[in-house]
Every structure is written in structure tokens, then in C-alpha cells.
């Protein structure tokens, strides 16, 4: 494959794939958001009984590594299709969010004990 | 910002952001997968009581549009950080998955009644 | 089975089942919460491509009905085990929440267009 | 309140609460399953950055304890409403599942290294 491996190209392939199978009626934003969350949970399922240490070693087993990569692909696929139906540019959305977070959470004022989760609840 | 808006650059900014705040101990693959699923559910929450038709119009309201873009950014941020900790290339994973699906689900043999969800459970 | 079919009895059977298999080390509150969310997503997966009307008819197909009941059982099982590890009485928690909601959302002041989701974010 | 604190009574109160506010049109099985998964994720969110040890101590902080109980109430509320719309008895579903698991996973043949997650994927 000589195509450049970029998001826009993959998004286009996903849209063609769905259109060729007449799936657009199923692909409402509501359904694609649900499908995205289901795939994210399938990723969680791989890790749910692992210790933190075990979770850092999942790629050492080829079968588990393939399963993790497969779920990553599914999450990204539904995220791109969701963004496609609503005209959202996911890279621009993320760049804007990082810009906002860098202003809101300057390093100098950061305490070591803060939890990372606070950033995402803007 | 003159930086190219690509995934690798955003992934690098996220890694620097987390490193500057000493969050790496929290950022196990297990925790990042959970955080990804939590953000995906926050996207679902926006749509959970909407009809399919209402869900297609969410970007018409500026406040809701911002909320949707913000959750998209959070999902993508955790997906990139998850991939970063495990050395996964999300674009390569998705390209490989689309290749497999195109072989497994040729258009000619496809029935209109098939559900799209079957593709993701490889 | 002549045992009364109540929550406490089922919770006790689940605890004995896990203890007999030495699963307690895996059953941290964090892991059980993740497992609960994974099972809830498996319930969502059954409905993700259905229209609202189709979703109301899932019990008409015996295979789908069994799958739905099985996921309901899994969600309830992990909820009871989660509550067991933390000493939470789920019935008392729900009764207290309904009491609060009845005070906070009197029927007289309710507009028909309100969305139900607002109640759960107290 | 002298009413017995049982599931059927709480399910009845939830149904009356929703009916008084005309929410039934929103309460399709599809939407209630999504709402259940969103609440389960809000429970996960409380634990997502905690170590296993920290997660076992969440009830020691009154604010966090209240938040955990509140999410437990939300999960149970949507589970009961979901079951109500489809005519499912959640206690009977769980009892039947435990019966099946006790037959399928006898203790004598159990290895210490087995993971609990395998049970729920019947």
C-alpha cells in the first residue's frame, strides 16, 4: 500500500466501506457514540483483572497484543465515523483542548498529588 | 500555530504535558483504558435521551457542539496516550483492520440486512 | 430451590462462589466497577444498531431474550459484589436517592420537555 | 418509611416517578441500557486513577462515600427500569445464572490462576 497512512485517508476508506454496504441508516451519531463506548469497554475487558504491573506487559503475549491492537482499531474507526457524520475535525478538537489545558493548568502551580482526571472535565 | 496538525505531534504534546505534571505513575495501560471508556460514555451521555433525528442535529446548538468536540478530544487524547504507553501505532492498527474487513466482508456477498456491528468482533 | 429469591441471599451465593475459587484478590472495588461497566456495555451492544421500536421487541426472539437476561444477571452480579466489598446496601442507597429526587423534582413544577437524565447527576 | 425495602417496591416507585413526569417515551430499552452504562462509567471514574489499595479505602472519606453510593443508586435505578420495560425479573435472571455457573465451573476442577471474567461470557 503506497497510500499515506493518515487519518483523513482512513476516514475516507471507512466511509466508502459503510456506503458500499448501505450502513448509513444505522450510522446515526447516537448509534456511533454507543458503538465507540462498547469498543472502549472491550479494551477495558482485556485489563479488568490485571494488576497495574501485568497491564504494562500485555504486548509481550502475541495473542493479547493482537487483541489490544484490534480494539484500538475499532475505537479509532468508530471515533472517525462519528466525527465524519457530524463534520468534526478530531485533530483540531484535540489541539484546541491541549491549548486550553496548557493555559488552565500551568506546570508551576501544579502539585504532585493532583490527579490527571481533573483535566478532562472542563 | 505553524506545527502540522498530525497525530504524532499531538501525541508528543500529550506526553510532554503528562510528564511535566508527573502523571506517568497514574498512566498505566489499565488506567488509560478505563479513562478512555469513561470519556466515551460522556459522549454517549449527550445522546442518551435523544431520538435518532435529534442526534443528527446536535451541532446546530453551539453549546452542545462545543461539548461534543470536547468529549471527542478527550477520547482521542486517552487513545493516543494508551497507544503511547504500549508502543501501538493506531493508524497502522486501523489500516490493518480495514484490510482484513475488506477481505472478510466482500460487498458482492453482503446482504442489506446485515448489521455493521458484526465487523468489529473479529 | 426453596430459598427465598432475595438480593441478600444472591449476594451471599456470589461471595461463596468467588471465595471457593480464590478470586478475592482480583475483586478490588476498582476491578469490580470496571467489570460492571463492561457488562453494562455488553447490554448496550445488543441494542446499538436497533431503532427505538426494534429495541422494544427484543424479548420476542428467544435467543436475544436469553442474551439480554444473561447480561442483566452479569450487571446485577457485579453490582452486588461491588457493594459487598465496600459494605454498601444498594437498596438503602436507591431508596435514599428516590427520596432526594422526589423532594428536588416535585411533579407540579415539572415541564413535559425535561430530560430524565438530569436527575441522576445530583 | 414502614414499607419493606425490597426491589419490587423500589421498582414501583421508580415507575411512578417516571410516569408522573411523562418520561416513558424516553425510556426505551435502548436508551435505558445506554443510561445504565453511563452511570456504571461514572462509578469507574471515581476509581480510575486509584491504586488497588486506594480503591479499597474509598468509603473512609465521607464525600467520596456519598458519591459512590449515589452512583450505585443510579446504576440500580436504571437496571430496574430497564427490566421493568422488558418484563425481566432481575433476581430470577441472576439466580439462573449462578445455577448455571455452579454447574459449569465446579470448584474441584478450578485452578488458582483462572480469571473470574471468564464466567460472565457464557
Phi, psi of B5 (to 5 degrees): -90, 75
Here the CATH number for the domain that contains residue D91 is 1.10.287.1080
Query: Which of A26, A37, A44 lies nearest to residue C44, judging by beta carbons?
Result: A37
The pTM is what? 0.90
**Residue C115 pLDDT class (50, 70, 90 cuts):** low
Task: Give the CA angle between residues A104, A52, B122 to the nearest 5°.
Answer: 95
- Judged by CB atoms closer than 8 Å, whether chains meet at D5 and C95 is answered as yes
CA–CA min distance A13, chain B (Å):
8
Instruction: Choose the weakest-confidence range: B105-109, C42-46, C88-92, D118-122.
Output: D118-122
Identify all chain C residues contacting B115, using CB atoms and an 8 Å cutoff. Answer: 49
Please state, rounded to an integer, the average pLDDT across all residues of chain B: 89
What is the model's pLDDT at position A108? 62
Tell whether B85 is covered by a domain.
yes
For residues A15 and A24, give the distance between their C-alpha atoms in angstroms, rounded to a whole number: 9
Question: Which residues form the domain of C47?
Answer: 28-104
Instruction: Choose the weakest-confidence range: A12-16, C3-7, C48-52, D60-64.
Output: C3-7
The model's pLDDT over A54-92, given as tens digits with 9 standing for 90+, comes to 999 999 999 999 999 999 999 999 999 999 999 999 999
- CB distance C42 to A34 below 8 Å: no
Residues B77/B83/B86/B90 CA torsion (nearest 10 deg): 180
Burial profile C77-97: b = 16 or more Cβ within 10 angstroms, e = fewer: bbbbbbbbbbebebbebbbeb
Q: Tell how far CA A122 is from the center of its chain.
A: 19
The model's pLDDT over B31-77, given as tens digits with 9 standing for 90+, comes to 999 999 999 999 999 999 999 999 999 999 999 999 999 999 999 99
Q: Is the pLDDT of residue B112 over 80?
A: no
For residues A77 and B102, give the distance between their C-alpha atoms in angstroms, rounded to a whole number: 14
CA–CA min distance B115, chain D (Å):
16
Mutating which of C24, C38, C42, C51 best tests the A interface, going by the most A Cβ atoms within 10 A?
A: C38
Q: What is the DSSP string of chain D?
A: --S---HHHHHHHHHHHHHHTT-GGG--HHHHHHHHHHHHHHHHHHHTT--HHHHTTGGGSHHHHHHHHHHHHHHHHHHHHHHHHHT--HHHHHHHHHHHHHHHS-GGG--TT--GGGGG--
Tell whether C81 is covered by a domain.
yes
- CB distance D41 to B38 below 8 Å: yes
Give the number of domains in chain D. 1
Determine the residue of chain C that is closest to B116 in CA distance: C49
Return the residue matching grid coordinates 429526587. C101
What is the model's pLDDT at position B37? 98
In chain A, count H helices and then E strands.
Answer: 5, 0
Tell whether B66 is covered by a domain.
yes
**Residue B107 pLDDT class (50, 70, 90 cuts):** confident
Tell whether A11 is covered by a domain.
no
Determine the residue of chain C that is closest to B46 in CA distance: C117
Which cell is A43 given?
A: 479494551
For residues D68 and B57, give the distance between their C-alpha atoms in angstroms, rounded to a whole number: 34
Determine the residue of chain D that is closest to B39 in CA distance: D41
- C87 phi-psi bin (left φ>0, alpha ψ -120 to 50, beta other): left
Tell whether B50 is covered by a domain.
yes
- CB distance C33 to D47 below 8 Å: yes
**Residue A11 pLDDT class (50, 70, 90 cuts):** very high
Query: Which of A5, A35, A46 lies nearest to residue B92, judging by beta carbons?
Result: A5
How many residues belong to chain B?
122
Of B84, B90, C81, B81, which Cα lies nearest the Cα of A97? Answer: B81
DSSP secondary structure code for residue B58 in this structure? G
**Residue A96 pLDDT class (50, 70, 90 cuts):** very high
* pLDDT above 70: percentage of residues in chain B: 84
Tell whether C77 is covered by a domain.
yes
Tell whether A18 is covered by a domain.
no
- Judged by CB atoms closer than 8 Å, whether chains meet at B117 and C48 is answered as yes
Q: Is the pLDDT of residue A4 over 50?
A: yes
Q: Is the pLDDT of residue C114 over 50?
A: no
Determine the residue of chain D that is closest to C50 in CA distance: D30
Q: Is the pLDDT of residue C27 over 50?
A: yes
Please state, rounded to an integer, the average pLDDT across all residues of chain C: 89
For residues C23 and D19, give the distance between their C-alpha atoms in angstroms, rounded to a whole number: 42
* pLDDT above 90: percentage of residues in chain C: 80
For residues A50 and C31, give the distance between their C-alpha atoms in angstroms, rounded to a whole number: 9
Q: How do the pLDDT tens digits run along chain D, 122 residues long? A: 444 568 999 999 999 999 999 999 999 999 999 999 999 999 999 999 999 999 999 999 999 999 999 999 999 999 999 999 999 999 999 999 999 999 998 886 544 444 554 455 44
CA–CA min distance A48, chain D (Å):
8
Phi, psi of A46 (to 5 degrees): -60, -30
Q: Is the pLDDT of residue A110 over 80?
A: no
Q: Is the pLDDT of residue B6 over 70?
A: yes
Biggest CA-to-CA distance, chain A: 53
| B27-31 average pLDDT score | 98
CA–CA min distance D52, chain C (Å):
6
DSSP secondary structure code for residue B25 in this structure? T
Chain D residues with CB within 8 Å of chain A CB = 34, 37, 41, 45, 48-49, 51-52, 115-117
Identify all chain A residues contacting C38, using CB atoms and an 8 Å cutoff. Answer: 41-42, 44-45, 48
| C30-51 average pLDDT score | 98
What is the model's pLDDT at position D121? 44
For residues C108 and C118, give the distance between their C-alpha atoms in angstroms, rounded to a whole number: 17
Determine the residue of chain D that is closest to A33 in CA distance: D34
- Judged by CB atoms closer than 8 Å, whether chains meet at A37 and C45 is answered as no
* pLDDT above 70: percentage of residues in chain C: 84
Tell whether B47 is covered by a domain.
yes
For residues A22 and C69, give the distance between their C-alpha atoms in angstroms, rounded to a whole number: 31
- Judged by CB atoms closer than 8 Å, whether chains meet at C38 and A37 is answered as no
Query: Which of C34, C116, C117 lies nearest to residue B45, judging by beta carbons?
Result: C117
Amino acid at each position: 500500500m503506497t497510500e499515506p497512512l493518515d487519518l483523513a485517508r482512513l476516514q475516507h476508506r471507512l466511509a466508502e466501506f459503510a456506503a458500499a454496504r448501505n450502513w448509513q441508516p444505522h450510522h446515526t451519531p447516537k448509534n456511533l457514540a454507543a458503538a465507540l463506548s462498547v469498543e472502549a469497554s472491550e479494551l477495558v475487558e482485556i485489563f479488568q483483572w490485571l494488576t497495574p504491573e501485568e497491564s504494562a506487559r500485555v504486548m509481550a503475549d502475541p495473542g493479547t497484543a493482537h487483541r489490544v491492537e484490534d480494539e484500538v482499531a475499532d475505537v479509532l474507526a468508530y471515533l472517525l465515523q462519528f466525527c465524519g457524520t457530524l463534520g468534526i475535525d478530531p485533530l483540531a478538537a484535540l489541539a484546541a483542548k491541549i491549548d486550553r489545558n496548557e493555559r488552565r493548568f500551568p506546570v508551576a502551580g501544579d502539585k504532585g498529588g493532583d490527579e490527571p482526571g481533573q483535566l478532562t472535565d472542563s
